[in-house]
Chains A and B, each alone.
Chain A
Amino acid sequence: MISLTHYLVLSAILFSLGFYGVLVRRSAILILISVELMLAAVSINFVAFASYVDTDLFSGIIFAIFVITIAAAEVGLALGIVLRTFRERASANVDEASTLKW
């Protein structure tokens, strides 16, 4: 039988993988991909709780809808910023955007 724990462990692994990507990647778009993985892990958690625990109100499903909406808005906005940075510096690497660094 597939229990709630299976889904929670899967989403924990996904979240850690996305976290690893955020820490390690240099390209801003690849960091964005890793953030998307972390958000997907969060929505797996929400939907799993909605299906196993909160079966009357299924608030987790509503929250997962909002998470997906915000993820889409975030990707659109972040790509605009990345394109702008790329045009200014001819590079989309985050470690080269260090103007504010003392």
Chain B
Amino acid sequence: MGERVVQNQMSLPVARGRSILTGLVLGSLVAGPYFLVLTALAILGRISGAEFVWWLLAGITIAGAVGAVTSKNVVHAALSLVVASMSIAGIFLLLASEFIALVQILVYGGGVAILLIFGLMMTNASDDPIVMDGSQKPFGFGVALVLGIVLVGAMSGAAWGGALETVAGFREIGTRLYRDYGVPFEVASLVLLVALVGAVTVARRDREEDAE
């Protein structure tokens, strides 16, 4: 029994180290040239500063999302989601809506990430953070690829909108939220309350279970 535990503890760092190593190699192979090309283009004056930041943030977002959906280690997946969320907050800043960027950082970086990592630690992730994907992986990959091709094709063919214009400040957002969307705002607060009470009720141990 004791030996098995020791073996488990011995085997985990090897797997963890391997996944970190492959992540580093892959990351440097893809991210290094990407960053170098971007920097060269920016220095040569081919792209503006805003475009440089946009492509950088888009790359980090996609990389974080790929890590979140492909990582074998659940903790790495949760932390990749945090990376993707933070760079999405940067993208909101580029869209000149700093309020949403701050909300994104507060809610995703503060609330959702902590909740997810707590959830991982309270399920089997604390014993074995390495998970296997389902058997429908090729099918799922095909369906998601088709969806992605259709969506990207539809979006890139669209010709909407002009240039980025106004900055919606805190005052304008607050006025609009409380004046025009007062009832939905209250409903949202009710939804939050019901969700939290429901989460406590569902996750609570019953008294009979405690007695056992």
Contacts and interface: CB of A to CB of B under 8 A. Distances in A.
Contacts of B143: 19, 23
Nearest to A3: B161
Contacts, number: 251
B69 interface: yes
Interface in A60-84: 61-62, 64-66, 68-77, 79-84
Nearest to A59: B176
A13 B103 contact: no
A48 B93 CA distance: 11
A10 B62 CA distance: 8
Nearest to A27: B131
A37 B68 contact: yes
B92 A62 contact: no
Given A53-B160, A57-B176, A80-B200, A24 B119 contact: no
B95 A7 contact: yes
Given A40-B85, A65-B103, A71 B69 contact: no
A81 B123 contact: no
A15 B144 CA distance: 9
A28 to B, nearest CB: 8
B111 A72 contact: yes
Interface residues of B, number: 89
Interface in B142-169: 143-145, 147-148, 151-152, 154-156, 158-166, 168
Given A55-B166, A91-B124, A25 B199 contact: no
Interface stretch (B5-13, B22-30, B31-39, B73-81): B73-81
Contacts of B147: 15-16, 19
Contact of B144 (A10, A20, A51, A68): A20
Contact of A24 (B61, B108, B133, B166): B133
Interface of B: 48, 50-51, 54, 58, 61-62, 65-66, 68-69, 74, 77-78, 81, 84-85, 88, 91-92, 94-97, 99-100, 103-104, 107-108, 111-112, 115-116, 118-120, 122-125, 131-134, 136-137, 139-141, 143-145, 147-148, 151-152, 154-156, 158-166, 168, 172-173, 176-177, 180-181, 184, 188, 191-192, 195-196, 198-203, 205
Given A2-B94, A47-B92, A66-B188, 17 more contacts: A5-B160, A13-B152, A19-B144, A19-B147, A19-B148, A20-B144, A29-B74, A32-B119, A40-B108, A49-B161, A52-B162, A58-B173, A65-B103, A76-B199, A77-B198, A83-B202, A92-B124
